Amino acid sequence: MKYIELNEIDSTNAYLSERLLSGEITEPTTVFTHSQNKGKGMGQNIWVSDNDKNALFSIALFTEVKTEEIFKVSLATSMAIYEFLKLKGITTKIKWPNDIYYDGKKLGGILIENKLDGNVVKSSVIGVGLNLNQEKFPKWLPNPISLKNITGQDYDVKEFITGISEMVEKKLNEIKDVPFADLRLDYLLNLYCFGKIMMWKIQGIKDEISGSIVDVKPSGKIVVQAVSGQLCECDIKEIKLIDDF
């Protein structure tokens, strides 16, 4: 893995995506920054972080995963971060599709931007924001938490960036050719709210339903089974956990 350190940048994801497109990046590369002034989150969200406190980085990988199994990129990333944090003594949950949660609060977020060629994911920019040493967050952020909030300790940001980057690359290589059916249970068992009955708002269904997550598909769609027995297969835009931020 090659590393690029930047003092300040708009977004490490944007930085890598542009350089992948121009052909400047030709090997697995992680770019990390001390300060990000236009951090991108999922959907329309932004990602905010104090300078020098947290892990802010993106990993460019030459993925070579079939598009029908595109969720392997996300699964490899969230599982690698889960396992890295476990080695540090912190047991997290993955909130589908790929948020890192601790005690119902958001410790980290992942933003993956894939480049497809036919039925193959050619490359992925995997952006990770992980709250390490920041103790106070803006009031408008719904439910943030940092490792320092959890343990009171300070963490070496670079050690997390290199350790996680290596583990994500290794994990993706390991699972690339493993059938998705053999991976899903491990992921599901680490999922926030897996098997618990929760309230959901699902696109196309008028009322909120209560139901639980029962499966995840290779495309990344989640399967929620309503208490009535009805199965709903949804992507990220089609379902919302109620009482969640």
By the criterion CB under 6 A, which residues form the site for ligand BTN?
Answer: 11-13, 39-42, 45, 47, 56-58, 99, 109-111, 127-129
Tell me which residue has its CB nearest to ligand BTN: 109
Find out whether 124 and 114 touch, Cβ atoms under 8 Å.
Answer: yes
- CB 11 → ligand BTN: shortest distance, Å? 3
Contacts of 178 by beta carbon, 8 Å cutoff, 6+ apart = none
CB of 57 to ligand BTN, least distance (A): 6
For ligand BTN, the closer of residues 162 and 225 by Cβ is 162
- Residues 167, 84 contacting (CB under 8 angstroms): yes
Minimum Å gap between C-beta 160 and ligand BTN is 12
Q: How far apart are CA 173 and CA 136, in angstroms?
A: 37
Q: Please, which residue, 3 or 179, has the CB nearer to ligand BTN? A: 3
What distance in Å separates the CA atoms of residue 218 and residue 23, rounded to the nearest whole number? 29
Report the residue number, 106 or 209, with the smaller CB distance to ligand BTN. 106
Residue 219 CB, nearest approach to ligand BTN (Å): 19
Q: Can you read off the two tokens belonging to residue 177?
A: 């050719």
208 closest CA partner among 244, 245, 239: 239
Which residue number, 111 or 175, has a Cβ lying nearer to ligand BTN? 111
Query: How far is the C-alpha of 226 from the C-alpha of 213, rounded, in Å?
Result: 9
- Report the nearest approach of ligand BTN to the CB of residue 58 (Å): 5
Choice between 39 and 218, CB closer to ligand BTN? 39
Distance CA 223, CA 31 (A): 34
Looking at beta carbons only, is 155 or 180 nearer to ligand BTN? 155
Report in angstroms how near the CB of residue 117 gets to ligand BTN at its nearest. 23
